[in-house]
């Protein structure tokens, strides 16, 4: 039975709410939140690469002031607004559009569902439960990089998933080319959700399947797996 391993932040979980909170509080365009999270992720990965793992939310807290300074916003007396942004990210994330249906479709096809995330376990588990997926993705089906001590796309993360799942066919479903590149190098099949990055990184090996949104990506993954099932030869009479 195959396992579909979903990335959480930006793939299964939407940034719409924290982006709206951040941009509304500080009167900034949506690109400012994109910059905030991109640099948060960069510095999170950099700390991991340097051998000094720091949880993602701690990097985010540090990056808010820098982002505001770069955008010319006075922020020194606005700690309460900082806290609102962090709360939106840690306690108020929601599923992406079609996320509930995509996971149900995967489970209904007989696949196991797993989540591996750079985010904190409580952050991701809370959002999954609020979205109505607690039964399909219980706590035991979530793995946080906080528990491994390195950030995706480090090989140890994908190897930890393989040890946990122990299936012959494991897929990684993500909206980020770098995540799928890391998974493919460890033997995963890969499914890319196009709606965030839009254009695949030509420097990376291509994904096995893709879709314009999460539901379409899942449908294409399931169809690919059906078409490529090993054929069982019948014994000769």
| 3-state SS assignment for residue 40 | helix
Residue 86 in tokens: 């962090």
Q: How many CA atoms lie within 13 A of 187 on its CB side?
A: 14
Domain identity same for 223 and 144: yes
Q: Does the bond joining 153 to the residue before it have cis omega, within 30 degrees of 0?
A: yes
d(CA 128, CA 121): 10
Q: How far is CA 20 from CA 23, 59, 72, 127, 196, in A?
A: 5, 20, 19, 17, 16
pLDDT of residue 165: 81
**Final residue in a domain of this structure, among 69, 91, 113:** 91
pLDDT of residue 168: 77
pLDDT of residue 78: 87
Domain identity same for 122 and 80: no
Domain identity same for 84 and 184: no
Domain identity same for 83 and 103: no
Query: Is-contact 57 37, C-beta < 8 A?
Result: no
Which stretch of DSSP H or E encloses residue 6?
strand 3-6
Domain identity same for 63 and 37: yes
**Final residue in a domain of this structure, among 39, 68, 91:** 91
**What's 166's domain CATH number?**
3.40.50.1000
Domain count, the chain: 2
Answer yes or no: is 196 within a domain. yes
pLDDT of residue 236: 56
**Final residue in a domain of this structure, among 61, 91, 121:** 91
Please name the residues in contact with 138: beta carbons below 8 A apart, sequence gap of 6 or more: none
Domain identity same for 100 and 167: yes
Q: Could you list the residue range(s) of the whole structural domain that residue 40 is in? A: 16-91
Domain identity same for 97 and 159: yes
Domain identity same for 54 and 117: no
pLDDT of residue 75: 82
Helix ranges (DSSP H) in 50-176: 56-70, 79-91, 99-108, 121-130, 145-148, 155-165
Answer yes or no: is 233 within a domain. no
Domain identity same for 102 and 179: yes
Sign (positive or negative) of CA dihedral 64, 12, 31, 177:
positive
Answer yes or no: is 42 within a domain. yes
pLDDT of residue 233: 47
Q: What is the DSSP letter of 212?
A: S
pTM score of the predicted model: 0.92
Answer yes or no: is 232 within a domain. no
Q: Please list the pLDDT of the chain residue by residue as tens digits (237 residues).
A: 899 999 999 999 999 999 999 999 999 999 999 999 999 999 999 999 999 999 999 999 999 999 999 999 988 888 899 999 999 999 999 999 999 999 999 999 999 999 999 999 999 999 999 999 999 999 999 999 999 999 999 999 999 999 988 767 999 999 999 999 999 999 999 999 999 999 999 999 999 999 999 999 999 999 999 998 766 545 554
Domain identity same for 24 and 114: no
Answer yes or no: is 200 within a domain. yes
If we measure between CA atoms, which residue out of 58, 63, 41 comes closest to residue 153?
41
Query: Is-contact 17 94, C-beta < 8 A?
Result: yes
d(CA 206, CA 196): 16
Domain identity same for 7 and 113: yes
Answer yes or no: is 234 within a domain. no
Please name the residues in contact with 206: beta carbons below 8 A apart, sequence gap of 6 or more: 200
């Amino acid at each position: 039975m195959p396992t579909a391993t979903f990335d959480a932040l930006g793939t299964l979980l939407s940034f719409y709410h924290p982006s709206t909170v951040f941009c509304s509080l500080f009167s900034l365009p949506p690109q400012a939140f994109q910059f905030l999270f991109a640099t948060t992720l960069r510095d999170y990965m950099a700390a991991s690469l340097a051998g000094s793992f720091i949880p993602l939310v701690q990097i985010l807290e540090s990056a808010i002031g820098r982002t505001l300074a770069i955008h010319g916003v006075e922020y020194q007396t606005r700690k309460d607004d900082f806290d609102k942004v962090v709360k939106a990210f840690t306690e108020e994330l929601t599923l992406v559009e079609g996320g509930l249906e995509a996971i149900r479709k995967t489970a209904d096809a007989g696949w196991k569902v797993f989540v591996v995330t750079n985010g904190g376990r409580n952050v991701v588990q809370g959002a999954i439960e609020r979205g109505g997926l607690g039964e399909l993705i219980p706590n035991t089906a979530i793995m946080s990089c906080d528990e491994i001590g390195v950030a995706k796309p480090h090989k140890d993360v994908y190897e930890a998933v393989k040890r946990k799942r122990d299936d012959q066919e494991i897929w990684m479903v993500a909206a980020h080319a770098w995540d799928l590149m890391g998974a493919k190098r460890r033997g995963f099949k890969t499914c890319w959700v196009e709606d965030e990055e839009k254009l695949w990184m030509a420097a990376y090996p291509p994904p096995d399947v893709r879709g314009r949104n999460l539901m379409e990506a899942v449908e294409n993954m399931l169809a690919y797996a059906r078409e490529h099932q090993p054929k069982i030869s019948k014994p000769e009479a």
